[in-house]
Chain A
Amino acid sequence: MTAVPQAVQQAAAAPPARREPRGPVRRRGPARLVPRTAAARVRALAALVVVALAVTLAVTWNAVADARHGMRVIGHDAGPQVVATSDLYFQLTDMDAQLANALLIGGSQGLGATRAQALARYEQNHAKAATALLQAAKLADEPSENATAQEVVIALGDYERLAGQALLLDQQFGHTAGPPSQRVLDLYRQASDIMKLDVLPKAYNLTLDNGTLVRHTYEDERAAVRNGVIAVVAAGAVLVVLLLALQVFLTRRFRRVLNPPLALATLVAVALTAFGAVTLSAQSAHLKRAKEDGFDSILSLSRARAIGNSANADQTRYLLDPGRADTYEQVFLSKSQSVLYLKAGNLAAYNDAVQRQRGRTGFLGFLGTEAAQRGIAGQDAALAKVIAAYRTFQADDHRIRGLVEAGRRDEAIRARLGRTAGSSAADFAAYDGSLVKLVQIHRDVFDDAVRDGDGGTRHWEWGLPVAGLLVAALVLLGVRPRLAEYR
């Protein structure tokens, strides 16, 4: 116990090396940096404490800034904007679906849906798609993405021109429900091909690109926040050790039991570090929840919704255009499989597998990804409803195709377009509604996580400087009277 102060006293009592720079007492290595007088040592330790305090405050400030930036981009900025554009694909597919409906219905009334209704929905979708497209173009941050956005606008213009011609021609030669004239069909095929091959892939790729922006921010900021936790703990630990060293030096040197202001400063430093680390860890968790349980699932299910809607339209096209029925049946299968994948070579086998599918494992696709996610309140029940409704929709599809193959096309069209329960249109609407509810669960998770994240870093911009000033003031308060003894 006494060895250290004695050594210190001896060192202090030794003649300053400065006087005899070449003398044998000259200390070597790091020891040269240790000040020789007690006052100088107190000052040096106090200075180190201030530096460590500044570093702790800086790394905490930094990490909190990272967490806030991440939360702002994902929760308030690009995140919600990307979510808004994710409906673009849905609106575009629905435009083509409504065009097909209008052409299939013709002048027929009393089918549950009329041509005018289909066209009104077409226009609504068009307006929404234009808004989403503008938003997506604003989010584009690379030349290739800008070019993609521009190409979508141009291709959509081509589509609308052909759609307009098809509708006009179809109206001139009115018909009852069923395939329209060959000239109308040719125009519709051209329009639908542009939608399928040009507009939709680019719109989809554009929203994928937009999602990339959010992913990069998330990964960068979450890594920064997690590194921030380590940095805060490390810097805080160094600060506390230095405060303790100063405490020990002062109490021994001046034979006191405790330096109360320094002890208080140490407590504040410990609290600051612990609180910083805990808050940042929580922020990292909020970011993760917002991104993985919220944002990612919303996007993935929006895609499932859009592709499902497009498959539903392929059912209409199958009835509309007998010449291409095989192709439309095949794309219906491949789209269905991307929503809920079960291995099956043809549509009949797929429908069979879907009807036999029970439970929430054993399938892939968008719904498979969703099923793999667990631990979100209400998700289980909502997903079960989605799968049950999907099963009904697929069963309807099987029935419709059976009717067509049996030569009962008119019945098939009624089974497709009718409004009553049991019609494919109504059952698809029920499926779509259940999917929207599932999306809403993830939207709630997202909003919650963002709210928690915003709340978690509130007041830090003044709390941190105040805590810093408090520690600095306490150190000064603890050290000044002791230094005064040397004056």
Chain B
Amino acid sequence: MLAWTGASTRALARRSGAACAALALLAAGGCAVAGADGDSVARKDELVIGMSPDKPGLGMRTGSTYSGFDVDVAREIAKRLGVPAGKVAFRPVTSATREKMLRAHDVDMVIASYSVTPERKTQVTFAGPYYVAHQDILVRRSDTSIKNVRDLKGKRLCDVPGSVSFPRVTRERGVAAVSVKADTYGECLTKLQSGALDAVSTDDLILAGMAAQSAKDGGAPLRIVNAPISDEPYGVGLARDDVDGCEAVNKAITTMYQDGTAAKLLKQWFGPVGLQVTTTVPQFEGCD
């Protein structure tokens, strides 16, 4: 009959289901399974994924199609969650809208060079990180004078208002670089090529994407210094408390590294520009 011990969880779920059925017959009582959030990305048949539209090499929209490392990672995760490619839609997000769109369920997850921070963790649940990027420096290949962040002293460094990258070098690291303002990192790239500035500093994956873009466009050859000055764990943003979804995404990321997919994608997108990528699975944040 009913065992006191040794029952598997699945058998127990069946048994409590049977108890619910008996209860429904007796008292028409509700038998909602607590903790089973119907909205979890672990159980969705289709996914809307928030994506950067303007980061070459990571998430770049051309017409209605997206391409980049983040896009491929998003497709792999969706596939491993059992959602076919045809059921995955991308929607552009910015750093100002990410949390809001997750909360409003406008997007099911955000994969958009989204760094996990303790403050953000109070608003959204993060699976992953799927990669730990580092703030690094991009220079013209002909420039050999910059080997680490301290060498930026007196150099003209791109300063994008609203971005933390410039103050991280000047204020936090105390390196007296000269500010050259630009509205976007695209403009930084143009100015670096034209010689209007000496260096661009931001996440290495973004720099690698820019360098690859530049090589494709036939611009001056660029070089990533490979002198990391911060850890930027790129997480998969999920609606707050979607613990089941977080665990499912973590499992997808784990298998993506185990079967070599992650290494292949990293080499494909960032290998050609000489960025030293890490091809082992990052340390996860944990889901609760």
B26 close to A55 (CB less than 8 A): yes
A201 close to B167 (CB less than 8 A): no
User: A357-391 toward B: CB 8 Å interface, digit per residue (1/0)?
Assistant: 00000001100100000000000000000000000
A365 close to B118 (CB less than 8 A): yes
A62 close to B15 (CB less than 8 A): yes
The verdict on A231 contacting B20 (CB below 8 Å), with A198-B280, A205-B283, A326-B148 known, is yes
Instruction: Provide the bound-state CA to CA distance between A230 and B247, in Å.
Output: 30
A461 close to B4 (CB less than 8 A): yes
B171 close to A228 (CB less than 8 A): no
A66 close to B23 (CB less than 8 A): no
B23 close to A345 (CB less than 8 A): no
Interface size class on chain A is 35 or more
Residues of B within 8 A of A219 (CB): 34-35
B118 close to A341 (CB less than 8 A): yes
- Give the residue name and chain of the A residue nearest to B231 (CB): A334
B254 close to A148 (CB less than 8 A): yes
Instruction: Out of B26, B243, B284, name the residue touching A234 (CB < 8 Å).
Output: B26
Residues of B within 8 A of A200 (CB): 283
The verdict on A144 contacting B23 (CB below 8 Å), with A230-B29, A326-B148 known, is no
Residues of B within 8 A of A201 (CB): 280-284
B149 close to A345 (CB less than 8 A): no
Instruction: Out of A61, A237, A346, A364, name the residue touching B2 (CB < 8 Å).
Output: A61
User: A209-238 toward B: CB 8 Å interface, digit per residue (1/0)?
Assistant: 001100111011111101110110011011
Instruction: Out of A198, A220, A234, name the residue touching B9 (CB < 8 Å).
Output: A220
A224 close to B12 (CB less than 8 A): yes
Chain B: minimal CB distance from A106 (Å): 27
A68 close to B283 (CB less than 8 A): no
Interface size class on chain B is 35 or more
A208 close to B250 (CB less than 8 A): yes
A231 close to B284 (CB less than 8 A): no
User: B6-49 toward A: CB 8 Å interface, digit per residue (1/0)?
Assistant: 01010011011011101100110101011100000000000000
A65 close to B3 (CB less than 8 A): yes
Please tell me if B5 contacts chain A, counting CB pairs below 8 Å: yes
By secondary structure, the A interface counts as helix
Residues of A within 8 A of B148 (CB): 326
Chain A: minimal CB distance from B98 (Å): 19
B280 close to A231 (CB less than 8 A): no
Residues of A within 8 A of B23 (CB): 59, 227, 230-231, 234-235
Instruction: Provide the bound-state CA to CA distance between A384 and B189, in Å.
Output: 50
Chain B: minimal CB distance from A265 (Å): 19
Please tell me if A484 contacts chain B, counting CB pairs below 8 Å: no
Please tell me if B268 contacts chain A, counting CB pairs below 8 Å: no
B172 close to A224 (CB less than 8 A): no
Instruction: Provide the bound-state CA to CA distance between A201 and B253, in Å.
Output: 13
Please tell me if B122 contacts chain A, counting CB pairs below 8 Å: yes
Instruction: Provide the bound-state CA to CA distance between A334 and B255, in Å.
Output: 27
Please tell me if B79 contacts chain A, counting CB pairs below 8 Å: no
Q: Which of A202, A338, A365 has the most CB of B within 10 A?
A: A202
The verdict on A330 contacting B231 (CB below 8 Å), with A144-B251, A201-B281 known, is yes
The verdict on A212 contacting B247 (CB below 8 Å), with A197-B278, A326-B229 known, is yes
Please tell me if A72 contacts chain B, counting CB pairs below 8 Å: yes
Please tell me if A420 contacts chain B, counting CB pairs below 8 Å: no
Instruction: Out of B7, B20, B171, B230, name the residue touching A65 (CB < 8 Å).
Output: B7
Please tell me if B105 contacts chain A, counting CB pairs below 8 Å: no
B284 close to A204 (CB less than 8 A): yes
Instruction: Provide the bound-state CA to CA distance between A230 and B119, in Å.
Output: 39
The 24 sampled A-B contact pairs (Cβ below 8 Å) are A58-B2, A62-B15, A66-B12, A66-B15, A68-B4, A69-B5, A142-B251, A202-B280, A204-B284, A205-B281, A208-B284, A212-B247, A220-B9, A220-B13, A223-B33, A224-B15, A224-B16, A234-B23, A326-B148, A326-B149, A326-B229, A345-B172, A346-B174, A364-B121
Interface residues of A (CB under 8 A from B): 52, 55, 58-59, 61-63, 65-66, 68-69, 72, 142, 144, 147-148, 151, 197-198, 200-202, 204-205, 208, 211-212, 215-217, 219-224, 226-228, 230-231, 234-235, 237-238, 296, 303, 326-327, 330-331, 334, 337-338, 341, 343, 345-346, 349, 364-365, 368, 461
Q: Besides A204-B283, A461-B4, 19 other CB < 8 A contacts?
A: A55-B22, A65-B15, A69-B5, A142-B251, A201-B280, A208-B250, A212-B247, A217-B9, A220-B12, A223-B35, A227-B20, A227-B31, A231-B20, A326-B149, A327-B228, A338-B118, A345-B168, A346-B174, A365-B118
